[in-house]
Amino acid sequence: MTPDHRRAFLGYCAYAGLTSTLFPAALLAQIRPGTATIDVATIREAARLAGLAWTEAECQDVAESLSSLSASVERIGKDSLANHSPLPFHFDPRPPGIATPRPAGDTRLPAPPRVRRPARLEETAFWPATHLAALIRTRQASSLEITRMYLDRLRRHDGVLNCAVTITESRALAEAAAADADLTAGRVRGPLHGVPYGVKDIIATSGAPTTWGAPNLATQTFEHDATVVTRLREGGAVLVAKLSTGEMAFGDQWARGRTNNPWNPAEGSSGSSAGSGAATAAGLVGFAIGSDTGGSILSPAARCGVVGLRPTFGRVSRHGVMAAGTTLDKIGPLCRTVDDCGVVLSVIAGPDGQDLAVPEGLPLAWNAPGREYPRRIGHVPAMFEAETNADARANNERALATLARLGCTMVPIELPSGDLSYFIEYVERAAAFDSFTRSGQHAALRPRTSRYLRACALTTAVDYLQANRRRTVIMQEAARALSSVDAVMFTALTLDSATSLNPVMSLTGHPSIAVPNGFAATGSPTAVMFSGHLYQEGALLALASAYERAVGPRRDPPLFAPGR
């Protein structure tokens, strides 16, 4: 979670009077069968704090009713419910009453690039995943060679970045050997065959810990692979590392400290997919998988100078992935190019029968060789006008100029506020980690993390449901605003800026992608963010790819150059 996210959440709490909603929930929590009921005076004060005008008789009635309600709460058996316990209902980002077009066309992946093995294999460390796959497929290098190169770089550079939780060497070597054997037998499992990658450490992998970034979960293991890992393994990719996530997927601070930005190790890599962003940027993996609840793919991508794709909510199964915001969590890739992100998405997307939020019948439609891209691009003038950071303003102007060169038409639009996303996320987190908190394990966490988990456990179900009703209104308003454009451009440069990474796109579940846009005066990368229509990742990828080509050649952080 970025500083901007924290401010937005706290600001929303103040705006919505969150503290006044704590008391009714807290009262119910205090009553247990066989104990004395809360007196009328306590109910009267709680009602006053919650803004409820109850009579004395109504307060008396509520005091009696709470006792019977508490018996129902006891029957929930909260202690036996874990983070992975499924819910019987699922969020659908398609707004009621507004048609969501089905993706048109098939997926045609980029043509395999022509590559030549360099004299020194480590020169391939920063190659796009599609180029690594071509090198392996043409038998100029084996998957084992490439895997050993990345394993060596992970060991060599992790001391600076603090991004690798577990280097999965034995698994990686076995998977690489299997990929090479398949290739010898004439079997190519997919477009990522033999390519080493890493996953955020909230994603379950058998045979290695999945620590969620928490100091007291260092030995937590699961006996299964998450769906996203299974699909990558079946597609021939090679898992080389579990990459750092902020504690319980909060920010870039985890059990062993902060994950650092490869361009400037004096600052963090931002967002809870911190390790995935840093390792990809530093050439320690071919690509990485992250998760995004309120910006945790997009913000590390922007900070570290890589491409981060947050797909439509429900595009990729979250089975086997730690639940944070149940109706907000998305799984997506962080890569060195837009095409890489599209190729990875083509491998991991689609229903699995486990995560029922992933719909049937909405395939990825991406015609990569066609090079056609959307040209009617929305922007929010108020965001641009409110930006006071000089680098951010220059970044915006540069992005607008690039889009103009691409023949795009900029259309001013107005989007609804997305401030509710943080309220909904944090209440869902409190539920997801309820048994963890009740068991006292939260005491091992940093005070900020522990505080959020405990405070949001005291919000009322009424407020949570009403927030989601308001969310539906916001979804409808956003759909109407987007109906006049093909995509929307945001600034993603200053992560502390109120104009960056607009939260409404997370709340509504629209796909978004962060694309590098050069460098600020400080030498740190800059980026822009594009958001597209629901399930239209193909069009979004086409626009981002055109923008990427127009911006020019990508640079890599010099601190991690081959041979260093």
Enzyme catalytic residues: 200, 272, 296
Specify the 3-state DSSP secondary structure of 367: strand
List beta partners, residue 166.
242
- 486 in Cβ contact with 375 (< 8 Å): yes
Cβ partners under 8 Å of residue 216, min gap 6: 441, 444, 445
The residues with which 196 forms a beta bridge, in sequence order, are 238
Q: How far is CA 215 from CA 219, 384, 435, 511, in A?
A: 9, 41, 17, 33
Taking alpha carbons only, the member of 250, 251, 232, 431 closest to residue 320 is 232
CA distance 301 to 162: 17
Cβ within 8 Å of residue 249, ≥6 positions away: 202, 212, 213, 272, 291, 293, 296, 322, 324
CA angle 500–93–370, rounded 5-degree value: 75
User: What would the two tokens of residue 556 be?
Assistant: 């890599």
CA 260/CA 278 separation, integer angstroms: 7
How is residue 42 written in tokens?
């306590």
What are the CB-based long-range contacts (under 8 Å, 24+) for 454-459?
A: 454/430, 455/22, 455/430, 456/426, 456/427, 456/429, 456/430, 457/25, 457/430, 457/431, 458/21, 458/22, 458/25, 458/26, 458/29, 459/18, 459/21, 459/22, 459/25, 459/427, 459/430
> 84: helix, coil or strand?
coil
For the purposes of burial, counting CB atoms within 10 Å of the CB of 546, is it exposed (0-12), middle (13-18) or buried (19 or more)? Answer: buried
How many Å apart are CA 299 and CA 277, to the nearest integer?
Answer: 9
Sign of CA dihedral 21, 27, 28, 30: positive
Gap between the Cα atoms of 444 and 157, Å rounded: 28
Residues 413 and 488: beta-carbon distance below 8 Å: yes
Closest by CA to 305, choosing from 556, 501, 2, 489, is 556
Indicate the DSSP class of residue 121: G
From the CB of residue 402, how many other CB atoms can be counted at a distance below 10 Å?
Answer: 20
